[in-house]
Structure 1
Amino acid sequence: MSRSDSNARTQAVEVSNPEGSGPALILCEHASNHFPAQFGDLGLAAGDQKSHAAWDPGARAIALHLSQVLNAPMVASQVSRLVYDCNRPPEVASAMPVKSELIEIPGNRDLTDDQRLQRVDAVYRPFCDAVSEVIKARQDAGLDTVLITIHSFTPVYYGQPRAVEIGILHDDDTAMADAMLAHAPSLPHRRVERNQPYGPQDGVTHSLKLHGIAHGLANVMIEVRNDLLRTPQQETAMAEELLTLIRPALAALVQQGGDNA
């Protein structure tokens, strides 16, 4: 890798605690609302650049807290999902959407194949490469790994309020989601639901399939309603609440893996 390639990758992806040996790998695909100069602001108003359409508010803070507490590596995109959504494959339109809910994205209209490829190379591939490198290093070291991706969602979507507060999402592999949902009664004040407010039918499980299922790793996607993450104190409190579901689920899966070895 050349120095320029290395610098571009460093700007596109954040890898925290890569040597962490706990039984989890934390991903945060929508951690940032940064718009790199090479792509501009996509014609978005300042408010839209800071809105939930551009990133998942609070998600990185939760992911970083989990990384620290669980001694787990964290890989996070440092580019707005409106430039490229790292939880989407290059061939789908939603990887570089022309509209997000009610927000038009002029800079994503009529992209040429070369322009799309430029974003794939600048944003998506560095993220995927970083995840793959962490997974390989952990496999080489014989470490148990459960993939956990962290997201947040808006409390009102297309004018409709959402009652769910914590979503536990999965694709074909339900093991980690099942184990977490078994402990949902430990958060009686929270509305915790399976595959809400999104599910596999919405195309949101790309990372779970690519980085989790394809590598034989148990996996889960966690969605938190972002009105519960408006302050650093709320972010920390929610991360600790999530840990009441994650810790026993990880322990159960690691024990099961050992029993089946």
Structure 2
Amino acid sequence: MLNVEIFPKTPFTESQDGTLDFGTVVHTENADGAPSVLLVCEHASKRIPDFLGDMGLTAEVRESHIAWDPGALGVAQHMAALMSAPLVHGGVSRLIYDCNRPPEAPDAMPVKSEAYDIPANISMSPEEREARIEHVYGPFSDAVSGQIAQHRSSLVLMVTMHSFTRIYHDQQREVELGILHGRDDRFALAMMDAAPADSPFVIRLNEPYSATDGVAHTLDVQAYANALPNVMIEVCNDLIRTSDQQRAMAEYLVAWIDRTLAGFQNRGAA
């Protein structure tokens, strides 16, 4: 049974208007000109707002992949630079709110992640739950939709960047690069068709997750709803620990995406 008494709630830190102070919950790195690709990184940050203290978690857990996607932001930023693409990325831990989940999803504010109970979420009040939706999910969603609206005449693709852990529930995963899709599978399938034959990585479609795991929210709500082709890319986080690894992965992915886009547009699929 989950024990809600193990998390001594710290006093809420309120802003001047009386709301909970979540700090900066979303960052937007704009691109000049008419970008063709929009990048999104929902799980870029492990930051926990001050009013939540340590959430009842050890430092090791707060640094681990259950709190964020290690390396994903670095890859996304290098990709953005290479493609002159705008990038929207999260500013708080996904343990506060997972911006790739709708408010009604149980794992939007998880009470348990893998083997870890999340005490601050177990003891969360209905008012705090609503505050997280309003002040984290809302601004993030608005930032993504704002970029789509601003650049809709030039955008041909949205890419969401994620990372995953090699070991999950004590099982080793073989996949190293995952190409995922939601309701629109066109670009994901095109990427698989254009995958380098001599790739040094194990590449799989819809692994280590798929839409049935609830991971396609941003793709479907933001891109599919706007008739914008889209794809989610998952990278094993032990491949992108350093800045050099992140840069190399970005170069690999951008070349692959560019090659795929050329064929995709030539077929008139976009």
Where does residue 261 of structure 2 map in the other structure? 250
Task: Note if contact 2:31-2:84 (Cα within 8 Å) is conserved in structure 1.
Answer: no
Where does residue 201 of structure 1 map in the other structure? 212
Task: Note if contact 2:110-2:118 (Cα within 8 Å) is conserved in structure 1.
Answer: yes
Where does residue 248 of structure 2 map in the other structure? 237
Where does residue 172 of structure 1 map in the other structure? 183
Q: From 24, 35, 42, give the equivalent of 1:29.
A: 42
Matched residues in 2 for 1:106 and 1:159: separation?
Answer: 23
5 Å matches for 1:34-53?
34-53=47-66
Q: Which consecutive residues of structure 2, in runs of 5 or more, have no partner in the other structure?
A: 1-15
Where does residue 149 of structure 1 map in the other structure? 160
Q: How far off is 1:20 after superposition? A: 5.1
More helix, by proportion: 1
Amino acid at match of 2:257: I
Q: What are the superposed Cα offsets for residues 158-178 of structure 1, whole Å, 9 maximum, x if unpaired?
A: 000001000000012111111
Which range moves more in the overlay, 25-34 or 36-45?
36-45
Mark the CA change 1:20 to 1:26 in structure 2 (over 3 Å): closer, same or farther: farther
Q: Which has the larger radius of gyration?
A: 2
Q: Which consecutive residues of structure 1, in runs of 5 or more, have no partner in the other structure?
A: none
Q: How far off is 1:144 after superposition? A: 2.7
1:17 equivalenced with 2:30 (yes/no):
yes
Matched residues in 2 for 1:110 and 1:229: separation?
Answer: 35
Mark the CA change 1:19 to 1:38 in structure 2 (over 3 Å): closer, same or farther: farther
Where does residue 161 of structure 1 map in the other structure? 172
Q: From 223, 226, 233, give the equivalent of 1:212.
A: 223
Which range moves more in the overlay, 240-249 or 165-174?
240-249
Amino acid at match of 1:71: S
Which range moves more in the overlay, 86-95 or 38-47?
38-47
1:113 equivalenced with 2:155 (yes/no):
no
Amino acid at match of 2:144: V
Task: Note if contact 1:147-1:219 (Cα within 8 Å) is conserved in structure 2.
Answer: yes
1:75 equivalenced with 2:67 (yes/no):
no
Amino acid at match of 1:112: S
Q: What are the superposed Cα offsets for residues 135-179 of structure 1, whole Å, 9 maximum, x if unpaired?
A: 11112xx21331100000000000000010000000121111112
Matched residues in 2 for 1:208 and 1:14: separation?
Answer: 19
Which range moves more in the overlay, 246-255 or 177-186?
246-255
Task: Note if contact 2:187-2:231 (Cα within 8 Å) is conserved in structure 1.
Answer: yes
Where does residue 91 of structure 1 map in the other structure? 104
Q: What are the superposed Cα offsets for residues 171-227 of structure 1, whole Å, 9 maximum, x if unpaired?
A: 121111112111213452111000000001100111111111111110100000001
Task: Note if contact 1:9-1:126 (Cα within 8 Å) is conserved in structure 2.
Answer: no
Matched residues in 1 for 2:262 and 2:130: separation?
Answer: 41
Instruction: Figure out how many residues of one structure are paired with residues of the other and give that number.
Output: 253
Q: How far off is 1:10 after superposition? A: 7.4
Where does residue 7 of structure 2 map in the other structure? none
Matched residues in 2 for 1:156 and 1:42: separation?
Answer: 24
4+ residue runs of structure 1 moved beyond 6 angstroms?
none
Q: From 125, 134, 138, give the equivalent of 2:151.
A: 138
Q: CA RMSD in A?
A: 2.0
Task: Note if contact 2:41-2:161 (Cα within 8 Å) is conserved in structure 1.
Answer: yes
Amino acid at match of 1:123: V
Matched residues in 2 for 1:110 and 1:37: separation?
Answer: 17
Which range moves more in the overlay, 179-188 or 123-132?
179-188
Matched residues in 2 for 1:31 and 1:78: separation?
Answer: 7
The 3-state SS of whatever aligns with 1:75 is: strand
The 3-state SS of whatever aligns with 1:132 is: helix
Identity within the alignment, %: 44
TM-score using structure 1 length: 0.91
